Amino acid sequence: MLTGGHMRRRTAARLVTVLALVTPALVPATAHADTVSTTNATAQAATVATTNACVASVPEPGTTTPVRICYSLFQPAGASAAKTVPLIIHSHGWGGSRTKDPAAFKSWLDAGYGVLSFDQRSFGESTGVAHVMNPDLEGRDVIKLVDLIAALDWVTKQRPGDPLIGAIGGSYGGGFQFAGAFTELRDKGRTRFDALAPEVTWWDLKESLAPDEAARTMWLSILFAGGGKNLPPAVAAAFVGLVTTGQWPSGQAGRDLDAFFAKNGPAWHVRQGRKLDIPVLIGQGLPDNLFNLNQGLKNFDLALTRRARAKSLLVGYNGGHTLPSVVPPGFVTPGDPCSIALGSPSFGALAQRFMALNLKGVQTGLRGFGSYHLATADGRCLTQRHLIANTQYRLGRISTAVPVSTVLAKGPITVAGVPRLKARVSSLLPDAGAFFALSVGTTPLDAKIIQNNTMPLREPRVVRGAKRTVDLPGIAVDVPAGKSLFLTVSPVADMFAGQNGRVPNPLRLDDVTVRVHQVR
């Protein structure tokens, strides 16, 4: 068994490789005045007019100097005041910077869209500090860019000041889409975005980074290495504590983090009574062990109106922020079978069809709206109209002192969605915890967790028979004949390296039940 210290050393060994996979390469900044824009044609796309410039946005709290948000604007060939086109807004992942080369957007430009790619606050050439999608800061940065687009005579307007726009981007580049649209909805009663296509992004940032206040230290180490210097100093210091201890800080540090993450996602807006009434194509990774499928399902189910969901799609693929799970061992087959099943070779191509329908009214044969399209762990596409639990398994008592896998059902069966565990929980000492997932195998000894994901339960205080509910990682899996579906419970999990101190602190679970959506 690996201790927290061993797992943190393995995290460091993986860090450089994973950063290369999840963080776009930084583009060197070039100095220029805010009021100056430059227009040129690139060798790769000689007919595309490229403008590099910045807009002045809201100052940092406690200051009066406007923050500079810099962008590259690409005007496609033939676009003019007499022949207007819709526009796509794009931005980068955490620690990255905008895309300056129009060749990266060739398919969009050739299809007759303008594109604006921008550096988010504190990244690339933009100034300020990263507040991780605070509506009063990053949210208003996006609105400033929409205002800029609304003044371009070659961008199609639906009414004065209301440009025809969509948005694309993943992770942090998905977060800006929700931040911008929800902030406009809050401030103006409606959003000018007409369609969104966010990938592998979050519903609730604290819930993602530290579910049940148990830190995903493997990923937090990577995120801090990629952009910790961009955070406000007090938050950065609290973040270091979160990474090094594996637990949500107490005292002022914990209050700083709670306040910082309070508004930074769709969850806060929905609690305030807001929902988006526009079509959204959500791409989410089932083996994504930073922003897991649960986050995408909540965005689809809760952040959109019923009318919007009827025009929207959720596509789950076997990708995203992915690290292999070794403790406990996991499995997945990488790929995106559902974009293919929906008639596109990739999610990017699917997004372009989605925008063609919603920004241009072009019928491309796209179907499956209002449904969940999920890649199974073995790589096929499973489509479901709903994911409501319909089967319950009773397991009795489980101890978390050592890893254990308990059989739920024998194959062949298919299970999808978010399984839910309920139990009466007892502990002997404070700060007890365990990690849960469903798994597949022929015996408990060879069972592997589905799509490399676990979820924690942490008890900071001693409890006796406390009723608890744990949403397990969202999955899609075919359990073949000859294998079984198991509940795996482990005292440690490598994505949460360092939890429970140096020695695992076990829980006792009584009256355990697990509810799942079993495909009939």
- β partners of residue 195: 166
Return phi, psi of residue 174, to 5°. -90, -35
Question: Residues 140-158: pLDDT tens digits?
Answer: 999 999 999 999 999 999 9
* Mean pLDDT, range 274-294, rounded to an integer: 98
Rounded Cα gap, residues 520 and 500, in angstroms: 39
Q: What kind of architecture, by CATH, is found in domain 391-518?
A: Sandwich (2.60)
pLDDT in the model for residue 509? 98
Rounded Cα gap, residues 332 and 318, in angstroms: 7
Rounded Cα gap, residues 293 and 151, in angstroms: 38
- Joined tokens for residue 330: 């996991």
CB under 8 Å to 255, separation ≥6 — which residues? Answer: none
Rounded Cα gap, residues 514 and 520, in angstroms: 18
Question: Residues 89-122: pLDDT tens digits?
Answer: 999 999 999 999 999 999 999 999 999 999 999 9
pLDDT in the model for residue 499? 57
* Nearest CA-CA partner of 10 in 326, 451, 448: 326
pLDDT in the model for residue 415? 98
* Mean pLDDT, range 55-69, rounded to an integer: 98
Residue 43: count other Cβ atoms within 10 Å of its Cβ.
6
pLDDT in the model for residue 253? 87
Residue 241 has pLDDT above 60, yes or no: yes
Question: Residues 473-493: pLDDT tens digits?
Answer: 999 999 999 999 999 999 999
pLDDT in the model for residue 504? 65
Residue 503 has pLDDT above 60, yes or no: no
Residue 23 has pLDDT above 70, yes or no: no
> What's the CATH code, domain 33-274?
3.40.50.1820
pLDDT in the model for residue 222? 94
Residue 502 has pLDDT above 60, yes or no: no
Give the rounded percent of residues in the chain with a pLDDT score beyond 70.
90
Residue 185 has pLDDT above 90, yes or no: yes
Q: Are 357 and 364 in contact (CB under 8 A)?
A: yes
For the chain, give every domain's residue range: 33-274, 391-518
Mean pLDDT of the chain: 91
Residue 408 has pLDDT above 50, yes or no: yes
**Per-residue pLDDT band at 32 (split at 50, 70, 90):** very low
Residue 434 has pLDDT above 90, yes or no: yes
